[in-house]
A and B are shown apart, each in its own frame.
Chain A
């Protein structure tokens, strides 16, 4: 039995209704599964559909369980495991605040320039940067600038090529 832990990015297309997020989270918390990141937002206003992106870690059996339990939820239309079902683009956004004297801010700005990170707010004592990229890109920037505060959006992901996660017709 494969006991090796693996990180998976799973997407679900769900009805945009109250309680749907609680059902998904309850499915994880009730069974002791791990959530590394979770994002949710409406993606299809006409059909009233939201998309949930979940990054989780588990053995092959646990990941299989998570997917079939998700698919079983009544408001869930489709489930896709981007880690298994082919290459995908993953992006995350973070807002990163750095404070301190002029030298510290200039150092941070230099790193930001070098890493294509945008400055979105500034005061004489503080900068807020907006960084977009893979989770690893975000980690790298955050480690370099030693921020006082970080706000991360969590992973959003989409399959490469012409495969589409849409509602079943």
Chain B
């Protein structure tokens, strides 16, 4: 603090109300948009928001969607998404969204109303133990019981949400705290008391890692969403490092876009429905460089069969992500951008060059695997193949500034396989939690952040109806999100697993009594389109892109199509199954994999 005297800010002379402090802290944190839904306990805060114009409030139709929309906003901008809901049911409805954000490391600050402090614990109307309920599904949470803490807690909430491994933070605000007088503390005067994750990597470990990378004969970079979370600059460094080494790279579902998919060194997504070449390379590599990924079970397959002959380097900002599932040889705790910068510097310092002779055999092997063309599908019959629809969607939008969200299931995997991304922050999907109903509200959040962009929601008939009420939000704010429902009248992935593990018995996976999606769109005032034959797909996509209104395009697809390749539950990477050549029914799973999800 300088000794120069400034004119006392308003707050020092005339205390603000708690609500005004919240609004001031949000502005101080650079918040421009809040996704929320009002109710009794947060009326004072809504009143304060009503009397200002810097922060825009987007009224959703269900609190779960508020969190997903904030996730869409956060993940397409790299900023913190903000949610405001009331007490009781408002808060409990956010739980799925918060858990989703926790699993996928999305920075969210969720403000929840609470009954006045003197009524807490009395089973008051719309009372819920919000900090108790959200403790395991947030990175941290607060119940503000003293107005003097309010500003500090809000700044700390933003600090915790965005630093280290990002995640959701809940701040529970009793109504009397919002209405009482409270002092303001500027963001500039705030210093966190305890949570300060280390960002700089250990230089010796970096040196050791780079030596391993340079000497590798069968190397692979295995990169996840952590690099995207570290910022677009981290993705630039990653691309530089991977190109400097000449080594192959695979990306996780969350990492798609961190490295350009069109680059020849990219060998596709890995994991349960990843490419043959990526999974085989993971199995056979001698040096694995994992950056910002967490050895998730969808990636590793059976742990004791995971990449048995490799030395493993793991870069992560979160020490608890290291050695959690897989024991690694070179652990590096640090921010991805700083670590990649340090690795690049070490690479140059060691005068390493692309050693084509050393890795020639490895690239030959990878090219052999690539020839399997593991994402292939056969056009048989007159139906629309879902993969074809996604390929056309990509082809007809590639000149545009495009963002894609998905729901969860077969369509999600086909989108990940057939819609390539060359830039980060363009691909938004619920990876860790697998939340059906994520895609549409997330797309609304993306469109709010990028009003001029083309925002596509690739969804399924079962997923989309889980948050379809949000079409009202899309209409209210004129958000021209284009939803493409790959409609197979099934919970397709459930059906695929029932075929695989449960003798084709389709228990409850048939979606009976689906709405007419065209009429449904029209009922909201949006545009409804439908394609039932392959030659109608392009026309529907072009019509959808041509309108400024929200669109539901009902793409009626082949109901029997399965997602391949597939590493069945309980199998290792080299046990990956490819699409059957002939129509001899789906590949069957083994008993041991049934217990896994």
Contacts and interface: CB of A to CB of B under 8 A. Distances in A.
A116 B194 CA distance: 43
B140 A74 contact: yes
A15 B193 contact: yes
Interface stretch (B20-28, B131-139, B536-544): B131-139
B164 A61 contact: no
B320 A26 contact: no
Interface stretch (A64-72, A81-89, A117-125, A143-151): A64-72
A72 B320 contact: yes
Contact of A74 (B131, B195, B320, B327): B195
A26 B131 CA distance: 12
A61 B326 CA distance: 9
A19 B135 contact: yes
A144 to B, nearest CB: 43
A72 B319 contact: yes
B136 A71 contact: no
A61 B323 contact: yes
A1 interface: yes
A133 interface: no
Contacts of A72: 164, 318-320
B136 to A, nearest CB: 5
B131 A19 contact: yes
B108 to A, nearest CB: 15
Contacts of A15: 193-194
A3 B156 CA distance: 39
B557 interface: no
Nearest to B139: A74
Contact of A71 (B160, B193, B319): B319
Given A74-B140, A76-B194, A77-B194, A61 B327 contact: yes
Nearest to B197: A72
B324 interface: yes
A141 B193 CA distance: 44
A161 interface: no
B194 A69 contact: no
A23 B319 contact: no
Interface residues of B, number: 20
Interface string A41-78: 00000000000000000000100110011011111110
B194 A22 contact: no
Interface in B137-176: 139-140, 143, 156, 160, 164
Contacts of B319: 68, 71-72
Contacts of A26: 135-136
Given A74-B140, A74-B160, A1 B327 contact: yes
A85 B155 CA distance: 35
Contacts of A71: 319-320
A32 interface: no
A69 B320 contact: yes
A120 to B, nearest CB: 36
A74 B135 CA distance: 12
A30 B194 contact: no
Contacts of B195: 74
Interface size class of chain A, counting residues whose CB lies under 8 Å from the partner chain? 20 to 34
Nearest to B192: A74
A1 B131 CA distance: 38
A77 B195 CA distance: 8
B1 to A, nearest CB: 20
Interface in B296-341: 318-320, 322-324, 327
A76 B132 CA distance: 18
B136 A30 contact: yes
A133 B416 CA distance: 60
Nearest to B145: A18
A74 B318 contact: no
Nearest to A78: B194
A68 B327 contact: no
A61 B319 CA distance: 12
A22 B324 contact: no
A168 to B, nearest CB: 8
Contact of A22 (B135, B164, B320, B322): B135
A30 B156 CA distance: 25
Given A23-B135, A30-B136, A64 B323 contact: yes
B194 A75 contact: yes
Contacts of B322: 68
Nearest to A18: B143
A65 B194 contact: no
A1 B323 CA distance: 11
Contacts of B139: 74
Nearest to B194: A77
A23 B156 CA distance: 18
A165 to B, nearest CB: 14
A22 B132 contact: yes
Contacts of B327: 1, 61
Interface string A1-32: 10000000000000100110011001000100
B194 A74 contact: yes
Q: Which among B156, B193, B194, B318 has the greatest number of chain A C-beta atoms within 10 A?
A: B194
B148 to A, nearest CB: 14
Contacts of A76: 194
Nearest to A48: B193
B124 to A, nearest CB: 19
A152 B319 CA distance: 34
Interface in B182-221: 193-195
A99 to B, nearest CB: 39
A68 B156 CA distance: 21
Contacts of A68: 318-320, 322
A65 B164 CA distance: 16
Q: Which among A15, A30, A68, A74 has the greatest number of chain B C-beta atoms within 10 A?
A: A74
Interface in B564-592: none
A58 to B, nearest CB: 13
Contacts of A64: 323
A65 B135 contact: no
Contacts of B318: 68, 72
A23 B131 CA distance: 10
A26 B134 CA distance: 11
A23 B193 CA distance: 18
B206 to A, nearest CB: 20
24 contacts: A1-B327, A15-B193, A15-B194, A18-B143, A19-B131, A19-B143, A23-B135, A26-B136, A61-B324, A64-B323, A65-B324, A68-B318, A68-B320, A69-B320, A71-B319, A72-B164, A72-B320, A73-B140, A74-B139, A74-B140, A74-B156, A74-B194, A74-B195, A75-B194
Interface of B: 131-132, 135-136, 139-140, 143, 156, 160, 164, 193-195, 318-320, 322-324, 327
Given A68-B322, A74-B194, 9 more contacts: A19-B135, A22-B135, A64-B323, A65-B320, A65-B324, A68-B318, A71-B319, A72-B319, A76-B194
The 5 A-B residue pairs whose C-beta atoms are closest, nearest first, are A68-B320, A68-B319, A74-B140, A74-B195, A69-B320
